[in-house]
């Protein structure tokens, strides 16, 4: 089970064979009548949630309110809206009447009010007013800059900064990440395609093969769940021989950097020490693997050319940026950029894990964030266990599940593969 190849060999059509067969037995029952209430299990990690969402109008609305709550530092409210959206994403058909929702978990008063509003009027007044609010728009623009979180954005807004132009002329001191984020803003806001993720995988594979032959790489995050686009590309790297992965990240980064493939990188070291963070202290939800947050310079001759030529021909400007380069000079500059630029900036996360923690790391880095949160909640409340991206602990025995590694990992591997079916939480 510790052989990394197991995870890919047991797949069929991108989904784990065993899980596909199990789920044939667990197909959700589609009700004949619209008034028969839906029924779903309480924890999001217990539900089958494919990429096919029959309630996207409702879930988009709830996700927007979740985003607004998260950007306003109200995480509790954010999770409540995310959980409500996840329930609707798991339903086998579109909700047509609010009575179908009777008895469903995670649908609080506030979420139900929004749903009712949309079912009745086609839109939710709260969602529409949030969308239109200057504060929400400014928070979106500013936190869209790599390296800028909700707190920084809030401080800037209080100082009268609402867009990139105002930020640039404000004289604010930006850290290295924020400077890179501002410089590559438009590229980073543009979704990364599967083809681009594959191209980056190729680069990382070459780099890893050259600095540590035998090391293995898995594309994680949303792309591993089958999503067609993402905001970044996530990789998990390990070596089948425990300990060989030590020192890999600096070599990998320097290989990439020396070939001009990195526009920005910041590596944080592995700070997980089992002797200290073991049974005595339950592992934190935030993992402590060696991790490199980076911005890759990806050569995209055709794509970059086409996009920029379009921009030059149409005089397109970034909506968020609020900076127009209209007129002849602007068009000239854009044409010049179009003819010169043959690359785009892409956010990439590289994570290195010792092989003994690989199953947990893979599970944690496959996401989605809500699925991970729910899985940990389920493990704690229903199984008396603590799960992190490093280990699984039995709370009653207060020890790491190592001697029962095969049985525990067996279950964990099963859970890991389940994440394929949770793509749309």
Cis ω for the linkage preceding 368 (within 30 of 0): yes
Give the residue, chosen from 16, 147, 181, 230, that forms a contact with ligand DCT under the rule CB under 6 A: 230
Nearest to 413 by CA among 13, 9, 83: 9
Residues across the chain: 425
Q: Which tokens is 155 given?
A: 């401080």
CB of 222 to Mg ion, least distance (A): 5
Written as six digits, the tokens of 268 are 């944080």
Active site residue 234: yes
User: Minimal distance in Å, beta carbon 351 to ligand DCT?
Assistant: 9
Is residue 230 near Mg ion by the rule CB under 5 A? yes
Q: Is 13 annotated as a binding residue?
A: no
Q: Angle 358-366/405-418 helices, nearest 10 degrees?
A: 20
Of the candidates 206, 345, 384, which has an alpha carbon nearest to the alpha carbon of residue 265?
A: 345
Contact present, 192 and 208 (Cβ < 8 Å): no
The stretch among 9-17, 252-260, 296-304, 360-368 that binds ligand DCT (CB under 6 A) is 360-368
78 touching ligand DCT, by CB under 6 A: no
- Residue recorded with tokens 């609707």: 88
62 vs 101, which CB is nearer to ligand DCT?
Answer: 62
Asked if 349 is an active-site residue, the reply is: yes
User: Among the candidate windows 203-211, 230-238, 258-266, 270-278, which touches ligand DCT by CB under 6 A?
Assistant: 230-238
73 appears as a binding residue in the annotation: no
Tell whether residue 16 is a contact of ligand DCT (CB under 6 A). no
Q: Is 222 in the site for ligand DCT (CB under 6 A)?
A: yes
The 366-385 site mask, x for binding ligand DCT (CB under 6 A), equals -xxx--x-------------
Place of tokens 């030059």: 312
Size of the site for ligand DCT (CB under 6 A): 16
Q: Exactly one of 234, 277, 287, 310 is catalytic; which is it?
A: 234
Using CB under 6 A, which of 16, 221, 283, 354 touches ligand DCT?
221
| Residue 368, contacted partner among ligand DCT, Mg ion, none, CB below 5-8 A by kind | ligand DCT
Residue 219 burial (10 A CB sphere; 0-12, 13-18, 19+) = buried
Query: What string marks each residue from 233 to 252 as x (binds ligand DCT by CB under 6 A) or -?
Result: -x------------------
Q: Is 221 an interacting residue with respect to Mg ion (CB under 5 A)?
A: yes
75 is in an annotated binding site: no
Q: Does 290 bind ligand DCT (CB under 6 A)?
A: no
Stretch that binds Mg ion, among 29-37, 100-108, 222-230, 382-390 (CB under 5 A): 222-230
CB of 307 to ligand DCT, least distance (A): 20
353 versus 368: smaller Cβ distance to ligand DCT: 368
Judged by CB under 5 A, how many residues of this single chain contact Mg ion?
5
Question: Which of the listed partners (Mg ion, ligand DCT, none) does 286 bind, with a CB threshold of 5 to 8 Å by partner kind?
Answer: ligand DCT
Among 77, 227, 335, 405, binds ligand DCT (CB under 6 A): 227
Sign of torsion, CA 362 367 372 374?
A: negative
Q: Is residue 49 a contact residue for ligand DCT (CB under 6 A)?
A: no
The CA angle 310-326-303, to the nearest 5 degrees, is 20
Residue environment code for 229-260, b if the CB has 16+ CB neighbours within 10 A, otherwise e: ebebbbbbbbbeeeebbeebbeebbebbeeee
Contact partners, residue 213, CB within 8 Å, separation at least 6: none
Assigned token pair, 14: 């991108």
> What stretch of H or E contains 93?
none
Chain centroid to CA 164: how far?
Answer: 24
Pick the catalytic residue from 232, 277, 394, 410.
232
Q: Specify the 3-state DSSP secondary structure of 303.
A: helix
Q: What is the DSSP pairing of strand 290-299 with strand 229-230?
A: unpaired
Burial per residue of 292-305, b for 16 or more beta-carbon CB atoms within 10 angstroms, e otherwise: bbbbbbbebeebbe
Give yes or no for residue 234 binding Mg ion (CB under 5 A). yes
Q: Nearer Cβ to Mg ion, position 277 or 349?
A: 349
In the complex, minimum distance from the CB of residue 235 to ligand DCT, in angstroms, rounded to a whole number? 10
Q: Quick one: how far is CA 270 from the chain centroid?
A: 21
Decide if residue 364 touches Mg ion (CB under 5 A). Answer: no
**Residues annotated in a binding site:** 232, 234, 349
Residues with a known catalytic role: 232, 234, 349
Binding site for ligand DCT (CB under 6 A): 221-222, 227, 230-232, 234, 286-287, 364-365, 367-369, 372, 389
């Amino acid at each position: 089970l510790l052989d990394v190849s197991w995870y890919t060999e047991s797949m069929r059509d991108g989904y784990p064979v065993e899980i596909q067969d199990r789920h044939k037995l667990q197909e959700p029952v589609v009700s004949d009548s619209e008034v028969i209430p839906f029924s779903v299990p309480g924890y999001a990690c217990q539900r089958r949630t494919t990429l096919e969402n029959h309630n996207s109008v409702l879930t988009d609305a709830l996700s927007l309110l979740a985003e607004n709550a998260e950007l306003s530092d109200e995480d509790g409210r954010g999770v409540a809206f995310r959980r409500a959206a996840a329930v609707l994403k798991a339903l086998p058909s579109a909700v047509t009447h609010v009575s179908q929702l009777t008895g469903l978990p995670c649908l609080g008063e506030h979420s139900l009010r929004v749903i009712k509003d949309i079912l009745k009027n086609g839109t939710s007044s709260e969602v529409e007013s949030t969308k239109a609010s200057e504060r929400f728009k400014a928070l979106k623009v500013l936190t869209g800059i790599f390296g800028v979180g909700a707190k920084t954005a809030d401080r800037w807004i209080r100082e009268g900064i609402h867009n990139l132009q105002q930020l640039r002329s404000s004289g604010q001191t930006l850290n290295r990440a924020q400077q890179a984020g501002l410089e590559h803003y438009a590229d980073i806001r543009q979704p990364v395609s599967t083809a681009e993720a594959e191209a980056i995988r190729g680069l990382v594979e070459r780099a890893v093969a050259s600095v540590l032959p035998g090391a293995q790489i898995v594309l994680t995050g949303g792309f591993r769940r089958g999503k067609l686009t993402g905001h970044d590309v996530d990789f998990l790297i390990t070596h089948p021989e425990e300990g060989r992965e030590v020192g890999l990240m600096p070599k990998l980064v320097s290989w990439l950097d020396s070939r001009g493939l990195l526009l920005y990188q910041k590596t944080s070291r592995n700070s997980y020490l089992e002797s200290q963070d073991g049974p005595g202290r339950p592992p934190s939800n935030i993992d402590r693997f060696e991790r490199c947050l980076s911005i890759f310079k990806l050569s995209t001759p055709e794509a970059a050319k086409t996009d920029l030529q379009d921009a030059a021909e149409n005089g397109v400007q970034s909506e968020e940026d609020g900076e127009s380069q209209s007129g002849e000079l602007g068009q000239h500059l854009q044409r010049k950029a179009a003819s010169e630029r043959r690359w785009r900036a892409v956010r990439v996360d590289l994570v290195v894990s010792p092989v003994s923690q690989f199953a947990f790391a893979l599970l944690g880095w496959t996401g989605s964030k809500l699925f991970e949160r729910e899985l940990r909640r389920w493990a704690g409340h229903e199984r008396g266990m603590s799960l992190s991206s490093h280990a699984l602990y039995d709370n009653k025995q207060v020890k790491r599940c190592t001697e029962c590694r095969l049985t525990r990992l067996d279950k964990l591997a099963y859970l890991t593969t389940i994440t394929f079916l949770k793509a749309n939480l």
